Amino acid sequence: MRRRISLLLISLTIMGSVFARGVYQAPMDFLAESFHGEVPESSLLLIDTSLEASVKQILGHRYESQRIRYWREEGRTAWILQEVGKTKPITVGIVVNQGKLERVKVLVFRESRGWEVRYPFFTDQFIGASLTESAELDKTIDGVTGATLSVSALTRLARLAILLHKESEK
């Protein structure tokens, strides 16, 4: 009997981590929602040597690409960015309006733990945040027990999106 209960508990744990991974929203659906069905044409931001230093300060490493695609309309930009949580990338859609975070949404989560960061109770904390002069968020983001690395990844991406938004305005 104990063996069956142990196997059941192990199965439920494995199933929970499998169900946590997945595509929660397609990037184009995120963009359509963010721009009320009319997705503007995309642009590319080149990470040159001066911007690369700021990106590396935020992420702790170089970004995976030298060109980052974004969408702009009336002072708002949308970004689809990726950052590794523990071992796998987390894809996040972020909207920045006038230098402040307007929307943060986990689009694809590939890790086995930390999936709680996809829920609005966590992502809504970012709304209205901007960057300080030291490239930190001006709001405190509460963590989620057991999701420390995912929380850190989303926080870095939020900071990066604001930085890129400001750079795209130049």
CA–CA gap between residue 34 and residue 77 (Å, rounded) = 10
Per residue, the 3-state secondary structure of 89-118, as one string, reads EEEEEEEEECCEEEEEEEEEECCCCCHHHH
Please give the pLDDT value at position 56.
96
**Is the model's pLDDT at 97 over the cut of 60?**
yes
**Is the model's pLDDT at 28 over the cut of 60?**
yes
Which pLDDT tens digit goes with each residue over 107-148? 999 998 888 999 999 999 999 999 999 999 999 999 898 899
Please give the pLDDT value at position 112.
87
DSSP 8-state assignment for residue 33: H
Please give the pLDDT value at position 128.
98
pTM of the prediction? 0.86
CA–CA gap between residue 42 and residue 89 (Å, rounded) = 22
Q: Which amino acid belongs to residue 165?
A: H
Are 95 and 34 a contacting pair, CB within 8 Å? yes
DSSP 8-state assignment for residue 26: -
Percent of the chain with pLDDT over 70: 88
Which pLDDT tens digit goes with each residue over 34-58? 999 999 999 999 999 989 999 999 9
Please give the pLDDT value at position 121.
95
Please give the pLDDT value at position 2.
55
**Is the model's pLDDT at 19 over the cut of 70?**
no
DSSP 8-state assignment for residue 2: H
